[in-house]
Amino acid sequence: MSEDSIIIRGRRELNGEVRISSSKNAAVALIPATVLASDIVTLYDVPRISDIIALRELLGELNIHLTRDGDSLIVDPRDIQNTVLESDAVGRLRASYYFMGALLGRYKKVKMKMPGGCDLGPRPINLHLKGFRALGAEITYEEGFYTLEAPELKGTDIYLDFASVGATINIMMAAVFAKGRTIIENAAKEPEIIDLSTMLNKMGAQIRGAGTSVITIDGVERLGGCHHEIIPDRIEAGTYIIIGAACAGHIKVTNVIPKHLEALLMKLEEMGVKMEVGVDCVDIYKSDELKAVDAKTLTFPGLATDLQQPLTALMTKAVGVSHIRDTIYPERFKHCDQLNRMGAAIEVYNGSSTINGPTPLFGEKVRATDLRGGASLVVAALMAKGETVISDAYHIFRGYDSIREKLRGLGADID
Ligand code: EPU
């Protein structure tokens, strides 16, 4: 067995409580945003995932001091010395591109490689660049490096052709020090954007409208430090809720904001999953037969594309033919071949999958092709008869804090 594999012996009934960690996709924006501060920023409850390790390396490259104190991360950006990011860590995650907005915003220049992240099909950054240009940046791309420079940044109106999470966050960060007012129209509304706006406003920014499709940023002169507690991870929560729907006797998922998961919870209800939704927790009980349903991923508050893959694994258990269309990443279906190796009957065509159920799953050697694809294999392996070996599990550790320990705590047989 490679150290990078997860082995699961499935068909165990899972019971107990699992606490959700704080949001990966919020944390990976909040950490680069500390570059904007002139004083110390303390982030509480930072998840223990490998994407955060990569970001710590990037902060190190800029000479930003970091201390882990239990679950907190104390970031001291006062001795920053550099605006160039050229280490391999840039290519290890998508969110390294948030240093573009943050360094451009604060220092008016940045040079960095192309960001990495999961292979979900084409992931252009044209909307980020369009926003930076509109604020006044000159952008060149040479020998694998982007260079962004602006004598000064000026507030302006920016319309996003698509409500991109990354572009919205990057433009917000670039605009906090721009002269005058920036308005982002057709902004993304994801909760992680509200979390970033909350933190930047605590630091002294003037941002209104985060969580709606129009965000207004009035430029300020300086941002100070702050203390900030990151929101819970809605995708990790959704994944454990799906695991509960697949394998629970009774699982309680805690540290959840149910409002962030409404589309998933309603879809699961339609499938016949027995659940009780509390103020900050969800209880999932053993269900009788699950029904096939149709689902479509959309921007928030629609069903998250990041949950499409774990949900597909659950759908193999439903009676009838389910369909999922991914409108955000129409090529995000690499997990389906792997699920089929385990006994699923899934066809993929033109941005959609058709899941013919129910199909009992059996243990197999499979490969995590990306983060949430890996999560879908974990769901499948927990349902499957026999032993499943999931290789390339490093994808999974990028976004699921202590997944082996959390699943073991629920009674899963996992190494
Ligand atoms: N898009 C463009 N041009 C751009 C930016 C995006 O065409 O300049 C397109 C993309 O190709 C895609 C769609 O817009 O088809 C959505 O992309 P978006 O920018 O919203 O996604 P992202 O910021 O790259 C974040 C999350 C993803 C999540 C998506 C959608 C982070 C670090 N990543 O990516 O999370 O799937 O939003 O919600 O926040 C994951 O956690 O597994 C993950 C991939």
Assess whether the C-beta atom of 267 lies below 6 angstroms from ligand 1.
no
- The predicted structure's pLDDT at residue 167: 98
Nearest CA to ligand 1 atom 26: 25
Same domain (yes/no): 125, 242: no
Assess whether the C-beta atom of 131 lies below 6 angstroms from ligand 1.
no
Whether pLDDT at 94 is above 90: no
Whether pLDDT at 119 is above 80: no
Assess whether the C-beta atom of 28 lies below 6 angstroms from ligand 1.
yes
Q: Are 368 and 391 within 8 A, CB to CB?
A: yes
Q: Residue range 385-391: average pLDDT? A: 98
- Out of 229, 264, 284, a domain closes at 229
Whether pLDDT at 123 is above 70: yes
Residue 339 lies in domain: 6-21+232-414
Same domain (yes/no): 28, 17: no
Same domain (yes/no): 109, 185: yes
Q: By C-alpha distance, which of 215, 294, 236 is closest to 51?
A: 236
Whether 245 is covered by a domain: the verdict is yes
CATH number at residue 315: 3.65.10.10
- The predicted structure's pLDDT at residue 228: 98
Same domain (yes/no): 255, 173: no
Assess whether the C-beta atom of 32 lies below 6 angstroms from ligand 1.
no
Q: Residue range 42-63: average pLDDT? A: 93
User: Residue 125 CA: which ligand 1 atom is closest?
Assistant: 8
User: Residue 399 CA: which ligand 1 atom is closest?
Assistant: 41
Whether 1 is covered by a domain: the verdict is no
Assess whether the C-beta atom of 182 lies below 6 angstroms from ligand 1.
no
Task: Kindly report the pTM of this predicted structure.
Answer: 0.97
More confident residue, 38 or 116: 38
Q: How confident is the model at residue 1 (pLDDT cuts 50, 70, 90)?
A: very low
Q: Are 405 and 21 within 8 A, CB to CB?
A: no
- Out of 182, 209, 229, a domain closes at 229
Q: Are 164 and 127 within 8 A, CB to CB?
A: yes
Q: Are 129 and 108 within 8 A, CB to CB?
A: no
Q: Residue range 333-350: average pLDDT? A: 97
Alpha-helical runs (H) found in 257-414: 262-271, 305-315, 335-341, 371-383, 394-397, 403-409
Q: What is the bridge-based pairing of β-strands 6-9 and 206-208?
A: unpaired
Same domain (yes/no): 195, 119: yes
Pocket test of ligand 1: the residue of 96, 139, 328 to mutate, having most ligand atoms within 8 Å of its CB, is: 328
Whether 408 is covered by a domain: the verdict is yes
- Out of 196, 229, 262, a domain closes at 229
Q: Residue range 91-108: average pLDDT? A: 92
CA 102 to ligand 1 center in whole angstroms: 18
Same domain (yes/no): 257, 398: yes
Provide the number of structural domains found in the chain.
2
Whether 387 is covered by a domain: the verdict is yes
Angstrom distance (rounded) from CA 170 to CA 183: 13
Q: Residue range 54-77: average pLDDT? A: 93
Q: How confident is the model at residue 100 (pLDDT cuts 50, 70, 90)?
A: very high
Q: Are 182 and 217 within 8 A, CB to CB?
A: yes
Q: Are 132 and 156 within 8 A, CB to CB?
A: no
Angstrom distance (rounded) from CA 121 to CA 22: 27
CA 123 to ligand 1 center in whole angstroms: 7
Whether a cis peptide bond, with omega within 30° of 0, leads into 301 is yes
CA 164 to ligand 1 center in whole angstroms: 6
CA 136 to ligand 1 center in whole angstroms: 24
Same domain (yes/no): 195, 309: no
- The predicted structure's pLDDT at residue 3: 61
Q: Residue range 177-202: average pLDDT? A: 98
Same domain (yes/no): 280, 219: no
Whether 248 is covered by a domain: the verdict is yes
Same domain (yes/no): 257, 366: yes
Angstrom distance (rounded) from CA 392 to CA 389: 10
Which amino acids are annotated catalytic? 118
Whether pLDDT at 121 is above 80: no
Same domain (yes/no): 13, 54: no
Helix (H) or strand (E) holding 66: strand 65-69
Same domain (yes/no): 216, 151: yes
For the chain, the farthest-separated pair of C-alpha atoms sits apart, in whole angstroms, at 64
Q: What is the mean pLDDT of the chain?
A: 95
Whether 171 is covered by a domain: the verdict is yes
CA 88 to ligand 1 center in whole angstroms: 21
Same domain (yes/no): 36, 17: no
